[in-house]
Structure 1
Amino acid sequence: MKQKIYSFIGMCILFAIFLFPTGVFAEKMVVIDPGHGGQFTGTCGYTKESGKDLCERDVNLSVGLKLREALKSSGIKVFMTRETDVGFASNSSDDLKARTNLSNGFVKGNNDNSIFISVHHNASPTSPYVKGYETYYYDFNNLDPMYPYDPLQVKYLNDSKRFAETIHPTVRNALGLIDRKIHNDQSFYVIRNAQMPSVLVELGYMTNREEESRIKTADYQQKAAQALANSIISYFKVFEVYQNETKKATFKTKNEAVNFAQTLNGSVRVFDKDAQQDVWENSNFEVYHKSMGILKSFANEQEAIAFAAGYANTRVIEKANGETIWANFFSQKYDVQDQAGNSTTFFDLNKAISFAQTKQVSRVVRADSNDIIWTSFPNEQITRVIQTNRLNGATRYSTSVSISKMLHPNGFAENTEKTAILTTGVEPADALSAGPLSAIYGQAPILLNNSSSLLPEIKDELKRLGAAKVIIIGGPVAISPNVENAIHSLGIQTERISGQTRVETNLRIVEKLDSVEGVFVASARSFPDALASAPIAAANNWAIVLTEQNNISAEALNYLKGKKTVILGGSNVVSDSIQKQIVQQNGTENVVRLAGADRYETLASLLWHFKDQMKSDTINIATGANFPDALTAASLSIQNKAPLILLGNGLYKNIESFLFQYTEENLIKQVNVIGGPVAVPDSLESMIVNKAK
């Protein structure tokens, strides 16, 4: 297990470094370098009278700090080479190397979306009358062999030039200084070795009495900082055109960029540098990894397939219709047969049907079973039919009743536990914890109720079931004594499982579970990541332990000891420190974190991880937007081990990838839809059924 975890991480890093296009992980960054520092004072001005006088190192730092403050709400991540009066080495040469290495380290891996600005104030060794503002950028065409440059700086010549041209007029006008122009004929170490677009600014002459008197003031420094901040923000407000991942041009407006992009061949995209996202592309085909999502886009089919073929667990999707045209982790299970005996296979059912409809007479069959899915042959019947059941009611409470009726259509059998579980329909924590309880009480239905009174539909269902006992989850705030008394009046026994907090209630629940196969660790405050774990836990004898983000109780840790553990969600819901505690106790080989960018990506990770434990001819689907429908469905999976598929506005690609492989390995006969058409629209139901055929 340990080796598998590290292999997966390594694969993620490989894809992140080599496969994802520019901008996928991009973030706007700026490195502010207040020049000099420590023993390297820079010029101390024409009016210096003592060693305590203000020097260039001091005003450079003051402007740099004010610049950072001015960028605080800009959405640009700011780094500073120094925040105090310090140097980096004992000699000037090593000092420059050290601050440049530090700067390059800040932006490593995100160089294209980062910029470097070195803040200085000037001096004239020959005349106190020289004054004004200058901007410098490095142009390797003016190479001095004595001063070699970093090879990566060459890539950014045009960007450095644009940065300088953006800064120069803005700062000069804000400070009211004489224009001493933009220069590209100097080989200053920091700008020729910065691995990003870079400029060096000289904000006036400290050897000029009038300018120095202004430079020392907070007002001047603030104006300089604000002008630099405005320029940095403006620098990012452009649109870049990439052809085959090589930047071809930069434009001020999206329309200009798109118009130019449309003249190019190959794979072309327009990147909004300010928003840090692509806003236009001509790619017609996308390569997806089954669990890591999109890898790359292509203009033509052959290039996309050739790229995808170089990696395991990939498929190619035609963007125009979302249909899969090639894959290497599931087969072409749809066979189009015409009356001449010709046969053509497809990965995607919609693609197969579209092709079949171009034939005068044809049929689409499932290759592994020969079931007919679609046909235009006269008098031929469709044999591949999936039963669909919509389990819903007017409210979340009546939906839980619908699920109960499906589980026990004739009420509880005489030789069963005759136990139902009752939990609040307001908070997800108790219902999430209750899922595994259903299994030990003979597939007990999980019914939802409000806190104050026994709902009529719940009362009727308990009577229909012939319940002998109700397990109440939660304290009197969650389910009041009034509800419990109403159940007693029906001649039904009750048992309440509760604690002072949701976490304590959860621990009292897991105490009821017999020797479990493993434990899910989920957030006690944020339900989405853990939604789909309840059916898996219920069907596979796993427990669910809830925890706060940064603190797990000693009792919970003790319960986890020696058990396989799966942490659900990222460190923003269950912290790395908690993971570390569990790993120290259980060993790396027994602990896995399953997480994604959102609840649906986390679900995909969960489904892939437990795919081989979910062998079923049934699929359950529910909305991922709210918890009640999904959590009350946990008991449906106990007998048939059916996976629960959560839907948003559509079907996420990683979940779709799972369905392609899962429905090839398992011949689906039934789809249960949990919730009404508002929660799960008919169109999404049809989509899932088609994927399952």
Structure 2
Amino acid sequence: PGPVPSPSDETRPSGNVVLERLSGASRVETSVELARADFKVGAETVIVARADVFADSVAGVALADALKAPVLLTQPDQLHPVVADEVKRLQPNGGRVVILGGEVAIEPSVEAALVKLGSKTERVAGVNRAGTAVEAAKMLAGLGKLKQVLVADGADWQSALVAGPAAAEVDGVTLLTNGAAMAPETAAYLKDISVPVTTVGGNARKALPGKRVVDGADPAALSVAVARTFFGRPKAVGFATTAAFADALTGGVHIARKHGPLMLLPASTPESVKGWLNGTPSLERGYVYGGPTRIGDTQVERLTK
């Protein structure tokens, strides 16, 4: 885990775009803040994922969008108290809770704690991260929400999480490779379906040659390439640090609901991102995920100047 972000709810205009910071005292509490921002009167479905590993949660971005559900992060071996409180707020009389990953990812004690709250739990889980993504794809297919597939490196959270909001935007899902090699679970599933497939990032391109490619020289450039490919005239954009995955995961869920792309930023905003921002006049709002230790206030102020 990276440094803990500081709480902040500042909203400041930058150019013609209003920028809002959404964060909590930790990655878990940031996920709760995002749920509160989007689901003020409850949610029929809640998704729970582990806070310390990204892979099982990759498919959760498109799944959360399709199910109109927030994603809450917790420790793998216990239900975090603030998450328990948020589940009770969202579902005071109990409700559906989808757990991402098997019992190794989220231990039975977490599920038992959710059941004690009155939740009706179910798991989306495969034998590994690629298998879990496939199981999410099957659920989306059952909802009529599998019109495209994006394939990203299952060992690289940056490409996988940038792909998440794009997959949601095109009624698709993100499936995973094993680095530059194709994951057997992904390969088998792709043989069974006939929808457009796009690889996101260099390793996915190597693992699945011959498909449409979206790539960039670095995570920020990849973010821009994904935005240009999948988002025509977005009104919103999300920003998360390149330093750690958690803000990009729950931020990806939030910005997918706003029909916008996710931009990954290093400590200094690259010209590729500035160029995209300045060349996208449809933008009205930007959301910065995580506190100033992630993306500093000065960097935020300069984003669209």
Question: How would you bin the TM-score normalised by the shorter chain?
Answer: 0.7 to 0.9
Answer yes or no: is the 8 Å Cα contact 2:147–2:172 preserved in 1.
yes
Match of 2:175 in 1: 545
Secondary structure of the 1:532 match is: helix
Match of 1:423 in 2: 49
Aligned partner of 1:616: which letter? P
Residue-pair matches, total: 285
- Name the CA distance, whole Å, in 1 between partners of 2:247 and 2:278: 24
Match of 2:162 in 1: 532
- Name the CA distance, whole Å, in 2 between partners of 1:557 and 1:386: 40
- Name the CA distance, whole Å, in 2 between partners of 1:402 and 1:394: 10
Match of 2:84 in 1: 459
- Name the CA distance, whole Å, in 1 between partners of 2:296 and 2:283: 24
Structure 1, residues 573-609: CA drift from partner, whole Å, max 9, x if none?
2363x323xx3xxxxxxx2112222222222221221
Equivalent of 1:651 in 243, 265, 269: 269
Deviation at 1:650, TM superposition (A): 1.4
Answer yes or no: is the 8 Å Cα contact 2:56–2:100 preserved in 1.
yes
Answer yes or no: is the 8 Å Cα contact 1:535–1:633 preserved in 2.
no
Equivalent of 2:153 in 523, 541, 547: 523
- Name the CA distance, whole Å, in 2 between partners of 1:667 and 1:504: 36
Match of 1:616 in 2: 234
* Pair 1:557-2:190 in alignment: yes
Answer yes or no: is the 8 Å Cα contact 1:539–1:637 preserved in 2.
no
Deviation at 1:667, TM superposition (A): 4.5
Deviation at 1:386, TM superposition (A): 4.7
- Name the CA distance, whole Å, in 1 between partners of 2:120 and 2:199: 36
- If the length of structure 1 is used for normalisation, what is the TM-score? 0.40
* Pair 1:408-2:28 in alignment: no
In structure 2, list runs of 5 or more residues that go unmatched. Answer: 1-12
Secondary structure of the 2:59 match is: helix
Match of 1:494 in 2: 121
* Pair 1:595-2:215 in alignment: yes
- Name the CA distance, whole Å, in 2 between partners of 1:595 and 1:513: 25
Match of 2:225 in 1: 605
* Pair 1:449-2:74 in alignment: yes
In structure 1, list runs of 5 or more residues that go unmatched. Answer: 1-372, 375-383, 413-417, 584-590
Answer yes or no: is the 8 Å Cα contact 2:24–2:30 preserved in 1.
yes
Answer yes or no: is the 8 Å Cα contact 1:637–1:643 preserved in 2.
yes
- Name the CA distance, whole Å, in 2 between partners of 1:391 and 1:606: 23
Answer yes or no: is the 8 Å Cα contact 1:431–1:632 preserved in 2.
no
Deviation at 1:640, TM superposition (A): 2.7
Deviation at 1:520, TM superposition (A): 0.7
Larger radius of gyration between Structure 1 and Structure 2: 1
Structure 1, residues 122-149: CA drift from partner, whole Å, max 9, x if none?
xxxxxxxxxxxxxxxxxxxxxxxxxxxx
- Name the CA distance, whole Å, in 1 between partners of 2:132 and 2:273: 32
- If the length of structure 2 is used for normalisation, what is the TM-score? 0.87
Secondary structure of the 2:72 match is: strand
Secondary structure of the 2:295 match is: coil
Secondary structure of the 1:476 match is: coil
Deviation at 1:531, TM superposition (A): 2.3
Match of 2:7 in 1: none
- Name the CA distance, whole Å, in 2 between partners of 1:490 and 1:452: 17
Q: Which has the higher contact order (CA 8 A, sep 6+)?
A: 2
Secondary structure of the 2:208 match is: helix
Answer yes or no: is the 8 Å Cα contact 1:545–1:556 preserved in 2.
no
Answer yes or no: is the 8 Å Cα contact 1:596–1:605 preserved in 2.
yes
Answer yes or no: is the 8 Å Cα contact 1:404–1:447 preserved in 2.
yes
Structure-to-structure mapping, 1:605-684, within 5 angstroms: 605-612=225-232, 615-662=233-280, 664=281, 666-668=282-284, 670-684=285-299
Match of 1:149 in 2: none
Deviation at 1:552, TM superposition (A): 3.4
Secondary structure of the 1:495 match is: strand
Aligned partner of 1:677: which letter? P
- Name the CA distance, whole Å, in 1 between partners of 2:110 and 2:218: 36
